């Protein structure tokens, strides 16, 4: 969170719901570096939803992964937000639900299957953004993120 590879911005439920939450930068126990992003859930902070600030066109055959280093006691979902440039339509494609981990954990989410499926369905005039979402269901909890990267062939 010192210099994020993926710049994240609030989206949908984090913008439209008054009981939404967003990252707070903390320094007490990062996985790597000096800071991490902390998301706190509670009765007044139920929803968390972000997308990457930039959309990317990704060729049909190129591999793409999302790397996420986290610890949490709340489940969250990692996926894609895609935009059909010919119609302007935007939709979400969840890829994986991530289970809570008390210690720092790094996962790699392979997204090529969803990208191939979407480009086969809509053609090549679509762009993708990273999407992360959680619903704390009104309970107390947290998610902490240290590294979030999209890795793909050029």
pLDDT tens, residue by residue, 83-104? 988 888 888 999 999 999 999 9
Q: Are 146 and 72 in contact (CB under 8 A)?
A: no
pTM of the model: 0.85
58 pLDDT more than 90: no
Average pLDDT (58-79) is 88
CA distance 81 to 96: 13
153 pLDDT more than 80: no
Q: Are 20 and 45 in contact (CB under 8 A)?
A: yes
- 2-36 pLDDT tens trace: 455 567 777 765 555 555 667 777 778 877 778 88
Q: What stretch of H or E contains 112?
A: helix 112-122
């Amino acid at each position: 969170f010192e210099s994020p590879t993926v710049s994240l911005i609030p989206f949908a439920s984090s913008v439209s719901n008054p009981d939404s939450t967003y990252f707070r930068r903390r320094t007490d126990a990062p996985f790597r570096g000096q800071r991490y992003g902390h998301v706190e859930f509670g009765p007044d902070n139920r929803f968390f939803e972000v997308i990457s600030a930039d959309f990317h066109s990704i060729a049909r055959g190129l591999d793409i992964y999302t790397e996420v280093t986290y610890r949490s006691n709340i489940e969250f979902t990692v996926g894609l937000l895609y935009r059909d440039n010919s119609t302007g339509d935007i939709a979400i494609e969840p890829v994986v639900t991530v289970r809570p981990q008390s210690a720092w954990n790094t996962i790699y989410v392979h997204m090529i299957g969803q990208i191939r499926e979407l480009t086969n369905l809509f053609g090549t005039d679509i762009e993708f953004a990273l999407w992360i979402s959680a619903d704390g269901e009104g309970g107390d909890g947290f998610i902490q993120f240290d590294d979030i990267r999209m890795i793909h062939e050029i």
